[in-house]
Amino acid sequence: MDNQKTIKEFENAISKCREIFVKKLKDYGTSWRVMRPSSLTDQIYIKARRIRSIEEKGDENLRVKEGIVPEFIGIVNYCAIALIQLKLGSGESITTDEAVRLYDEEISQSTALMLDKNHDYDEAWRHMRVSSFTDIILQKLLRTKEIESHGGKTLISEGVDANYRDMINYALFALIKLE
């Protein structure tokens, strides 16, 4: 296992996601601060369903000629936003500098989790298909929706934050494999 290669690939994928996040902040500000985590879960679900639809129908049958890469980037960014919202609650606007700082913090925590799991799983993700990442993200979304319907409480399972972090990492794995 070449941990340095994985770190570099993650940094490159994160850089692309962060660039989009920052540009959208300039266009829209922090308008997402009004969204509840459950609404963000639904937004992520829409992106994951579109990816699955494209995987099943093929790029040639698209009416909107954007492939799956922008959707995986959207999943990373919306999951980071959802983690921020879990921390702050929905509410007042924050500065773009504060939004970027919080984004970097959440992505950093997710990357640390990936490195720990990647060590234990011996880079199993490298042998997986992108379509499997899509299915796992959809499963994590259904789990998250179920947990949200229980008021965020679980008996034995990790909470919604862990699911968002896993989705970030699976989406980043997909972006690396699609490169």
Instruction: Kindly state the average pLDDT of the residues 62-87.
Output: 93
Which of 39, 29, 35, 22 is closest to 88 using CA atoms? 35
pLDDT band for position 1 (cuts 50, 70, 90)? low
Residue 93 DSSP symbol: -
Q: Are 55 and 131 in contact (CB under 8 A)?
A: yes
pLDDT band for position 60 (cuts 50, 70, 90)? confident
- CA–CA gap between residue 160 and residue 50 (Å, rounded): 22
pLDDT band for position 63 (cuts 50, 70, 90)? confident
